[in-house]
Amino acid sequence: MLSLKGDEWVIDSLTQLPEGVQPQITVHELAAAEATVRNDPRVQKLAAEQGKLILFISDSLAYPPQV
């Protein structure tokens, strides 16, 4: 857990995850992944070839990519 004290972030507590456990994806990682799927025709083609429906959430509207 972090807290902001004045203009500095301070670590209040730290929990080490068990080996093999990954933390949740961050908002920034999710945005980067979405940008890659939206902008990389290779990723869209591979997803289409695998028969996977990728949904993008934008302004609470879900729609499939244009491949």
Q: Side chain identity at 7, as an amino acid letter?
A: D
Q: Tell whether the model's pLDDT for residue 14 goes beyond 60.
A: yes
| CA angle, residues 62, 65, 67, in degrees to nearest 5 | 165
Place of tokens 């999710």: 30
8 has which bridge partners? 5
Q: What is the dihedral of CA 13, 18, 19, 23, to 10 degrees?
A: -60
* pLDDT surpasses 70 at 65: no
Quote the percentage of the chain above a pLDDT of 70. Answer: 75
Pairwise CA distance, residues 2 & 15, whole Å: 12
Q: What is the pTM of this model?
A: 0.40
Domain regions of the chain by residue span: 23-67
